[in-house]
């Protein structure tokens, strides 16, 4: 049984708990955040043993094996570091860290302490994503990758009125690239590795990118990534080659349906993921396997992927002149 402590009480916490309940083998020992009403509701609904308004109560609890970090982006580093210093394994919600330097420091610390630090990336553990990887040779020479993850945020209405919540707060490492664009980066780098050049063209408002276009140049082909929280559009992922294309009409974070279309018009569809109602099932199955086997080599292999994505994210933020201070 994996004994979990949760730091944070926002909307992602029930998603995490319900996904891990589907996987089974997780027990929820403690939860902490500053919002007591949310804590009470979560404790009652999910049978969490206790709640606290003090993070340290959960971070230092000897009964807890793993800390799940579900706080605003700007607090990921602080909480994850404290968890590792308390000899806990750590699951960090996306985006892993606001910077490559922070990610590298904590990954190195986890290795030194022989602890797992796990980037909660849904996509890369999905069977459909592995099917996309397997289908790439059938596309011939890759020419273009085009991804659009545009999702109008209810918080944007408040943002326009001057009410700045963490998702749009530059001091909390918010913005479209950090919230939605990171999924697109994960999708592309997971299949094609590190690009030769990265450029980000953001729409900036009050020091934050509410939407933007990321261009990743791989030399022989290009990848464009749209991420928007200030407007909406059909979700789409498309990889184009000279022999056909792969398409999904879903967000890059949740590829439940894959369509492979050849130039001759032949179409094959794939729906390989388990638990269609729980997109996070596969990632927490993987974490459970790593934890139970104490497979630090596999954890560090996944950490290497995280650092690749963080490097691209760093370059994109620099290119777009986005700062979180």
If asked whether residues 85 and 229 sit together in one domain, one would say no
If asked whether residues 271 and 288 sit together in one domain, one would say no
If asked whether residues 141 and 249 sit together in one domain, one would say yes
Neighbour count for residue 47 (Cβ, 10 Å): 11
299 falls within a domain: no
Place of tokens 């609890």: 61
Q: How confident is the model at residue 277 (pLDDT cuts 50, 70, 90)?
A: confident
If asked whether residues 129 and 118 sit together in one domain, one would say no
* CB of 211 closer than 8 Å to CB of 227: yes
159 falls within a domain: yes
If asked whether residues 131 and 113 sit together in one domain, one would say no
Give the up-direction half-sphere exposure of residue 143: CA atoms within 13 A in the CB hemisphere. Answer: 9
Q: Which domain holds residue 10?
A: 2-122+281-293
CATH number at residue 117: 3.40.50.720
Tell me the whole-structure pTM to 2 decimals: 0.95
If asked whether residues 106 and 230 sit together in one domain, one would say no
Q: Which two tokens stand for residue 161?
A: 């009125």
Task: Check whether 272 has a pLDDT greater than 90.
Answer: yes
> Could you give the CA distance from residue 213 to residue 67 in angstroms, rounded to a whole number?
34
CATH number at residue 161: 3.30.360.10
298 falls within a domain: no
Question: What is the mean predicted confidence (pLDDT) over 124-151?
Answer: 98
Q: pLDDT value at position 39?
A: 97
If asked whether residues 167 and 218 sit together in one domain, one would say yes
Buried b (16+ CB within 10 A) or exposed e, 207-221: bbbbbbbbbbebeeb
If asked whether residues 106 and 145 sit together in one domain, one would say no
Chain segment 71-83, per-residue pLDDT in tens? 999 999 999 999 9
Q: How confident is the model at residue 239 (pLDDT cuts 50, 70, 90)?
A: very high
If asked whether residues 117 and 142 sit together in one domain, one would say no
φ, ψ of residue 276 to 5 degrees: the values are -60, -25
Q: How confident is the model at residue 325 (pLDDT cuts 50, 70, 90)?
A: confident
If asked whether residues 149 and 252 sit together in one domain, one would say yes
Q: pLDDT value at position 275?
A: 87
If asked whether residues 289 and 148 sit together in one domain, one would say no
Percent of the chain with pLDDT over 70: 100
302 falls within a domain: no
204 falls within a domain: yes
Chain segment 35-52, per-residue pLDDT in tens? 999 999 999 999 999 999
264 falls within a domain: yes
- Neighbour-count burial of 162, counting CB atoms closer than 10 A to its CB (0-12 exposed, 13-18 middle, 19+ buried): exposed
301 falls within a domain: no
Total domains in the fold of the chain: 2
φ, ψ of residue 60 to 5 degrees: the values are -100, 0
325 falls within a domain: no
Question: If you average pLDDT over every residue of the chain, what do you get?
Answer: 97
If asked whether residues 286 and 273 sit together in one domain, one would say no
């Amino acid at each position: 049984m994996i004994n979990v402590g949760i730091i944070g009480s926002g909307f992602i916490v029930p998603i995490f708990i319900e996904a891990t309940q589907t996987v089974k083998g997780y027990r929820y020992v403690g939860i902490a955040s500053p919002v007591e009403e949310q804590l009470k509701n979560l404790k009652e609904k999910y049978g969490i043993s206790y709640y606290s308004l003090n993070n340290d109560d959960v971070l230092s609890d000897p009964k807890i094996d793993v800390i799940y970090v579900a706080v605003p982006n700007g607090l990921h580093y602080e909480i994850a570091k404290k968890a590792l210093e308390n000899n806990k394994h750590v699951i960090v919600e996306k985006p892993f860290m606001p910077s490559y330097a922070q990610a590298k420091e904590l990954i190195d610390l986890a290795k030194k302490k022989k602890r797992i630090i796990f980037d909660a990336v849904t996509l890369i553990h999905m069977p459909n994503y592995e099917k996309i990887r397997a289908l790439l040779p059938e596309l011939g020479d890759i020419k273009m990758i085009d991804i659009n993850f545009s999702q109008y945020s209810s918080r944007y209405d408040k943002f326009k009125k001057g009410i700045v919540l963490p998702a749009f707060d530059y001091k909390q490492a918010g913005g479209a690239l950090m919230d939605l664009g990171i999924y697109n980066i994960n999708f592309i780098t997971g299949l094609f590795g590190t690009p030769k050049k990265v450029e980000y063209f953001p729409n900036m408002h009050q020091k934050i990118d509410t939407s933007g276009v990321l261009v990743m140049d791989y030399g022989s082909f290009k990848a464009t990534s749209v991420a928007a929280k200030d407007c909406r559009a059909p979700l789409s992922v498309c990889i184009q080659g000279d022999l056909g294309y792969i398409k999904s009409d879903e967000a890059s974070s949740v590829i439940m349906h894959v369509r492979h279309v050849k130039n001759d018009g032949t179409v094959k569809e794939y729906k390989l993921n388990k638990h269609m109602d729980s997109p996070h099932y596969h990632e927490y199955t993987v974490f459970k396997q790593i934890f139970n086997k104490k497979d630090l080599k596999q954890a560090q292999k996944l950490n290497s992927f995280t650092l690749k994505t963080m490097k691209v994210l760093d370059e994109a933020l620099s290119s777009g002149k986005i700062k979180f201070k």
